[in-house]
Amino acid sequence: MIEKYAEEKKAALSHFEKLLDEQLKRAERIKAVKDFTDYSTLDKLIIGVCGGDGIGPYICKVSEDVMRFMLADEIAAGKVEIRDIEGLTIENRAAAGKAIPDDVMAELKSCQVILKGPTTTPRAGDPWPNIESANVAMRKELDLFANMRPVKVPSLGIDWTFFRENTEGGYAVGSKGIKVNDELSMDFVVTTTEGTERIARLAFDYARKNGINRVDVVTKANVIKTTDGKFLSICKEIGKEYPEIALDDWYIDIMTAKLVDEKRRRDFRVMILPNLYGDILTDEAAEIQGGVGTAGSANIGKRYAMFEAIHGSAPRMVNEGRAEYADPCSMLRAVVMLLRHIGRVDKAEKLEKALDICMFEEAKVKITGRPDGATSAEFADYLKSKL
């Protein structure tokens, strides 16, 4: 009876074989890169800046200004170069029919670090071709395997750092699923040993370095047994290398509930999650902090690193003429992470402190996303006055 689908099965199997080959090759490739780039050995560090789409160019511009201000001495001394990269716009990506046009990819690869504004992610029914998200493509192509997303609300005792695996899970072949026939479609979830070990190590190292004695792993290993099961068991294995740190494991559904449980949520400090759960949980966490516009995100790989807001390009704000009122704090937090990542720890701390004053402690200039609040540029001036 199933034989009537012989043609569909053959096409699906051959597509699946290609996916398998790609993923087996990827697993080999990531195993081959051992060490992180040591920025202190570079004569000059190049930071690329792409504005992105929608509110992206607005919040990116003010963040780039603040970054230039923080690094002014090193830029003048020729130790740091900030390079504007044009062309990562949805119009160009649509015209090239590619998530990232080749010339833009080459420019990105000529930098060590990137500050990126949000980019529009097409989906079926949009005026754009349904190409892969530029974020996802960049994370994969530059192998930015760790998505680190801090969220804190000092007045509520919340201090969370999420380590979201950034290249695997549901995203690895998210735009290459199989439409077997009109009745049946299938997507795939990918977990590799190396891919999980490296994110787990980064999270445990972070906990150790910051004197945090607890790490929570969040999966749905009771249902997604093969890939989430592997993710969880590898995290537990890696955890044994850190005997002073306790590991607890949670399922994503109950963790989503616990983030709004005022009695329990303060206990969480460092969380490790597969890609999709990390995507979802960090939006919830950011909302608790004051909105997705307040949270930054570091995408870290061994050779490259990219820093961005956790949110999208907010086309609604642009359509309603509110782009200049967008909250730049997400990208300013990304600049803090960038500075820390390149070893400019003093500068990162200075900027972080000023941001804390402007966002939580004094909070004199309020961003509401609407004309009754400040513009991104006004907020940046307020911030600079505290630096």
Q: Contact positions toward Mg ion, by CB under 5 A?
A: 279
Q: Tell me whether residue 64 or residue 279 sits nearer to Mg ion (CB atom).
A: 279
SS3 assignment, position 60:
helix
Q: Tell me whether residue 48 or residue 312 sits nearer to Mg ion (CB atom).
A: 312
- The whole-angstrom separation of Cα 327 and Cα 377 is 10
Stretch binding ligand IPM (CB under 6 A), from 91-99, 130-138, 195-203, 333-341: 130-138
Residue nearest to ligand IPM (CB): 133
Residue 310 within binding range of ligand IPM, rule CB under 6 A: yes
Residue 330 within binding range of ligand IPM, rule CB under 6 A: no
Instruction: Output the smallest distance, CB 326 to ligand IPM, in A.
Output: 16
Q: Name which of ligand IPM, Mg ion, none residue 312 binds, using a CB cut-off of 5 to 8 Å depending on partner kind.
A: ligand IPM
- The whole-angstrom separation of Cα 342 and Cα 337 is 9
Which residues, in sequence order, are CB contacts of 15 under 8 Å at separation 6+?
A: 176, 178
Stretch binding ligand IPM (CB under 6 A), from 3-11, 55-63, 78-86, 128-136: 128-136
Among 63, 112, 135, 161, binds ligand IPM (CB under 6 A): 135
215: left (phi over 0), alpha (psi -120 to 50) or beta: beta
According to DSSP, the residues that pair with 46 across neighbouring strands are: 81
Beta strands 178-179 and 214-219 are unpaired
Q: Binding string, 84-123, against ligand IPM, x = CB under 6 A?
A: -------------------------------------x--
- The whole-angstrom separation of Cα 367 and Cα 376 is 8
Q: Name which of Mg ion, ligand IPM, none residue 135 binds, using a CB cut-off of 5 to 8 Å depending on partner kind.
A: ligand IPM
Q: Which two tokens stand for residue 232?
A: 């969880």
- Residue from 100, 168, 88 nearest 131 by CA: 100
Instruction: Output the smallest distance, CB 69 to ligand IPM, in A.
Output: 26
Residue 133 within binding range of ligand IPM, rule CB under 6 A: yes
Contact positions with ligand IPM (CB under 6 A) in 10-39 = none
Instruction: Output the smallest distance, CB 135 to Mg ion, in A.
Output: 9
Residue 144 within binding range of ligand IPM, rule CB under 6 A: no
Residue 272 within binding range of ligand IPM, rule CB under 6 A: no
Q: Tell me whether residue 295 or residue 354 sits nearer to Mg ion (CB atom).
A: 295
- The whole-angstrom separation of Cα 62 and Cα 65 is 5
Maximal C-alpha separation, the chain: 74
- The whole-angstrom separation of Cα 298 and Cα 283 is 15
Q: How many angstroms separate the Cα of 257 from the Cα of each of 49, 222, 265, 285, 384?
A: 37, 17, 10, 11, 38
The angle at the Cα of 165, spanning 147 to 342, to the nearest 5 degrees, equals: 30
Q: Tell me whether residue 314 or residue 374 sits nearer to ligand IPM (CB atom).
A: 314
Instruction: Output the smallest distance, CB 152 to Mg ion, in A.
Output: 19
Instruction: Output the smallest distance, CB 246 to ligand IPM, in A.
Output: 28
Can you give the three-state secondary structure of 329-354, one letter per residue? HHHHHHHHHHHHHCCCHHHHHHHHHH
Residues that bind ligand IPM (CB under 6 A): 121, 133, 135-136, 279, 310, 312
